[in-house]
Amino acid sequence: MKAAAFDYVAPQTVAAALDALDAEGEARILAGGQSLAPLLNLRLATPKRLVDIGRIAALRRIEDRGDHHRIGAMVTHAAIEDGGMALADHGMLAHVAAGIAYRAVRNRGTIGGSLAHADPSGDWPSALMALDARAVAAGRAGEREIAIRDFLRGAFATALEPGEMLTAILLPKLSAAARWGYYKIVRKAGEFPEAIGAALFDSERRRARIVIGALGSAPLPLDNLAARAAEKGIEAVALDAVEAALREAAPDLDRIALRHHAVAARRAILEALAP
């Protein structure tokens, strides 16, 4: 199928992009196009105008900001996969990036596009929630920061207001003691996962996170379970305990989905905590 007709603009600055979004007619941001172009080709999306933010150099930068890194929204999965910048994340982002789709998709797809798209099965929403990252949204009134937990509102739903765009992700630096795990259940390499488990334990920063993704809604943080794991070790989070915690938090899951997601989470916890 071919996309329906649309207008196209490619502003050079964030301010010009915000102007273009504001202008009359239904406008949509085009980042890497790796989720939006399929929707356009299938005519599941028929925006009047695309605002291509690929020419805004500022959005491709990664900056060290003391206790965190500021990752521009247009940084690609492939750039993160290849590393090259020390992110103080013990390699978690590079690992997650390398598991997204295929190299040809990763060369174009962006971390900001993935987060803004908020596909429940997307990798960045779950991974960035486990890392307690924050999203930076720019609008007419300036910039605001939103914790990823509050940013992700549901399947394909975010806290971005009409006329706002995502400009960066703020990634807190982990301590030397931090350990992480990330496990997905996928039928074929590069496909969207059936289940995602993400785990992060940073004893020095007193942070413990277990996040379950690919649930059909926003990723689900299991804070009590994570606290128990941090306190008592892996014995306290056997598969049955993970499944029980998940059943309580997501009572509508069928038995198979429950097991899939519990297994993914358990394996992520093992990766993080196993000696």
Partner 1 sequence: MIPITLTVNGRRVEATVEPRTHLADFLREQQRLTGTHLGCEQGVCGACTILLDGVPARACLAFAVACDGAEIRTVEGFDGDPLMARLREAFSAEHALQCGFCTPGMLISAYDLIRRLPEADEARIRRELSGNLCRCTGYVGIVAAVQRVLAEVPKAATAPSPAAEASPSARADTPLWGKIKTALGAKPKA
By CB under 6 A, which span of 103-111, 228-236, 237-245, 246-254 interacts with ligand FAD?
A: 103-111
Which of 14, 16, 85, 105: binder of partner 1 (CB under 8 A)? 105
Q: Which of 92, 133, 165, 196 binds ligand FAD (CB under 6 A)?
A: 165
54 binds partner 1 (CB under 8 A): yes
Eight-class DSSP state of 76: B
Task: State how far Cα 12 lies from the chain centre.
Answer: 25
Nearest-10 crossing angle of helices 239-249, 255-273: 130
Dihedral sign, CA of 125, 153, 188, 194? Answer: positive
Question: 151 with 112: CB under 8 angstroms?
Answer: no
Structure-block tokens of residue 121: 């099965």
Whether 62 and 21 have beta carbons less than 8 Å apart is answered as no
Query: Which whole-number Å values give the CA distances from 67 to 13, 70, 148, 172, 228, in the listed order?
Result: 27, 10, 17, 6, 27
If we measure between CA atoms, which residue out of 128, 123, 110 comes closest to residue 52?
Answer: 110
3 binds, among partner 1, ligand FAD, none (CB under 5 to 8 A by kind): partner 1
42 binds partner 1, rule: CB under 8 A: yes
For the window 120-159, what string marks contact with ligand FAD as x by the rule CB under 6 A?
--xxx-----------------------------------
213-232 footprint of ligand FAD as x/- string (CB under 6 A): --------------------
Residues 155 and 63: their CA atoms lie apart, in Å, by 30
Q: How far is the CB of 235 from partner 1 (least distance, A)?
A: 33
Please report whether residue 256 would count as binding partner 1 according to CB under 8 A.
no
Decide: helix, strand or coil at residue 266: helix
Contact residues toward partner 1 (CB under 8 A) are 1-8, 10, 30, 33-34, 37-38, 40-42, 50, 52, 54, 78, 101-105, 107-108, 188-190
Contact residues toward ligand FAD (CB under 6 A) are 28-36, 38, 53, 73, 100-101, 105, 109-110, 112-114, 116-117, 119, 122-124, 160, 165-166, 192
